[in-house]
Structure 1
Amino acid sequence: MSDKAVDDRAALHRLLDDVVLAHVAVVVGGHPVAFPTAVARDGDTVLVHGSTGSSWLRALAGGARASLTVTSMDAVVVARSAFESSFHYRSAVVFGRFATLDGAAKRRGLDILVDRIVPGRSTELRGPTKRELAATILLAMPIHEWSLKVSERWPDDPPEDVAGPAWAGIVPLRNGYGSPVDAPDLRPGVAVPASVVALTGPGDA
């Protein structure tokens, strides 16, 4: 795997900006746990959030060492043998400790997370209530210690397979958004907002 290691902070930032779902791993009560969560990069920091009632979030807020992993699957590598078949992927792990954000920093960070999921959505929503803020914890980890691996090779078939009849190449993977579906309790006449139209395209609104 060492040939896939990449020491490029800009490439790390691009991956963190491309992927909205991360997995955070931490030891809670003597047991390792890993959980999926939305992630957003804020400069040289990664942000995650959740319920104040969560034991793993409380462990992170208490200073437990943790890792945050993001992965993007970019293509299928179709080789001439199962042995050489693979994927194009980018995968990063950020190591460290999270700190709790409060006050104005918390409100700003929550807006960043909302806009990471649906860009521009925070300006279309009412502000969070005191109860909602009290029930939500926002954590930030500085991007100091990290590892990035990138696999983007072509099939590496031996000459005898290259000379054979099997096809080889790559099949790019694409992520996209479908048409928005109204909530069952949506009031008549409420239009799809600009933030969602920007995600899906005007033809799907």
Structure 2
Amino acid sequence: MYKRTFLIIGLICIGFVSKAQNFDLGIKAHPLFGWMKPDQGSNSGAFTGFSYGLMGDFYVKERYAFSTEFAVTSMGGTIIEGDSQNGIETTYKIKYIEIPLSMKLKTNKMGQGQFYGQFGFVPGFNIGAKASGTQTVGGISTDFDDKNVQDNINGARLGLLIGGGYEYYFDNSTRLALGLSFNNGFTDVFDNGKATNSYMALNVGIFF
């Protein structure tokens, strides 16, 4: 299923890039706030993660661009199963290589900048996963820390991206991009259980 989805997305990307007139390259580094939603158990609070990497805009028209990135993203969340006598509370920290693929629509320039909105998909590929938490059996608790759980994590993730923001121009090409985005995961995180992970990001980057 994942291979077919990524193939379709790839073909769409090739079509947009082949029509692109201009290309802008930039770097990004920003925090994010994620959570996990399990089918069984409950989630507990937000997970603070981070994303960094390269980003590029391929302009199809003057104010319409195909936008993509190559980013290393750490996300996760906490899942609680059972109760205070017999249960487990686990915080997962999962790292992905993400390649967001979206359309960015921009307004006309207003003063030194312009607003934008974007919508698309975010394929991700797992490159690491650790778990920390507390397991309770018969009221006796045992802590565990930084346990490698990558073998229990699906190798691929797919999310839906929606966001917007503002780009401030220092000159004709260099600009600061600030925005908010929501990455809604809709594929299972685990190989043997059902849960999704999503996050809100405070996007910060510079195009050159």
Q: TM-score, normalised by structure 1?
A: 0.27
Q: Which has the higher strand share?
A: 2
Q: For CA contacts below 8 A with separation 6 or more, give which structure has more relative contact order.
A: 1
Specify the structure having the higher radius of gyration (Cα). 1
Q: Which has the higher helix share?
A: 1
